[in-house]
Amino acid sequence: MKRIFKIMPLLVLIIGLMACSPDNNNNDGINETEQNDNNEAVNNDNAASDDDSDGNDVSEDNDNANDDALGDEDHSNTNAAQEDSEFESGQGGFLWRVDNEDTTVYLQGTIHIGPESFYPLNDAIESAYEEADVVVPEIDITSVGAFTELKTTADHGVYDDGETIEDHIPEDVYDRLIEVLEDFNLDPERFVSFKPWMLESTLSSLVAQELGYLYGVDEYFLERAHDDDKEIIELESVEEQFAVLSGQSDEFQSLQLAETLNGLEDFEEEIGEMFDVYLAGDEDALKEQLFLEDGEIEEVIEDEALQEEYQSYTKALNDDRNVGMADTIEEFLDDGSDKTYFVIVGTAHLIEDPHVPGLLEKKGFEVERLY
């Protein structure tokens, strides 16, 4: 059966995997005491932002926390997985160019996780980055302050009324969740206050980390942009992305979580196929992997209300955000700055109607696919 949810967000939402991974949950999850502590931390947020500005301190802290969350044995598996990755560098499709007088915008499709062996990417992509004055991600994940991330997670991903995940999902899904968390050597009590969407993203993060797929295309370019002192402009905010993830019903989120729990063993195979298609730049094959056709929705989702909610979810996840991205890119093209912008967004935004290149063409711009 085609996957309904798990793969698509990896090419659409950058913040979901980053902010929901165990390194951001501390040892005891997010509880009332920690939220009170976080309120006190507001006064220190500016100083924390200064420490995070180059992305290096955050990455090192996250790596250390990941070691603790996954355990020594799992971390050794992560290193082995990294060494065994055989995806060829010098590839990486999905690059477009748009010009308006002396202003240029490159549109580079990304995947938000990947092995280190991806890099460097194709020469055309690397040259587009080098040419750019401004790098434009969905979110600058290398500079998201720890307080901002934790507070937004608490606002959107954690029950704050004493309820737990057990109150919101079927018993069989809950039992499977506990089993999987214990398989990862994680204390389920750390996660019982998390909402289903957040647990689904957390589990995807855990498996990605275990496989060594810690090198997303976005982070690859953002870390370089900081080192090269390029200007960075974000297209979206953490709050906006979390609102998309958290805006669905309990029933819908439970369906997402159940699918992820039941498909963890196939994750490596499925994501490996996606890596191959991404590196090859095969637009049709990637869309087939990511999205259900109208006739397929009824086959895999029986409940009519959930079918409609799936349509709303994909619209919020992709279509609505594409409109906002295209409007912002139009502003770049019309700003008369004569700058070159390197826009890096999840590949789905560039290939699934109404996609960003098509929306820009409707605005009167000529869009050329380079690679």
pLDDT at 4: 55
Cα separation of 83 and 116, whole Å?
9
pLDDT at 246: 84
Spans of the chain below 50 pLDDT: 1-2, 6, 16-85, 146-147
160 φ, ψ to 5°?
-115, 15
pLDDT at 12: 52
Decide: 81 and 111 in contact? Cβ < 8 Å: no
Cα separation of 368 and 41, whole Å?
47
Q: How many residues does the chain have?
A: 371
pLDDT at 133: 98
Question: What percentage of the chain reaches a pLDDT higher than 70?
Answer: 74
pLDDT digits (tens, 9 = 90+) for 128-147: 999 999 999 998 888 765 44
Q: Residue 249 burial by CB count (10 A; 0-12/13-18/19+): exposed, middle or buried?
A: middle
pLDDT at 39: 39
Q: What's the predicted TM-score (pTM) here? A: 0.78
pLDDT at 149: 61
Cα separation of 223 and 140, whole Å?
9
pLDDT at 40: 40
Nearest to 137 by CA among 20, 22, 230: 230
Q: Which helix (H) or strand (E) holds 184?
A: none
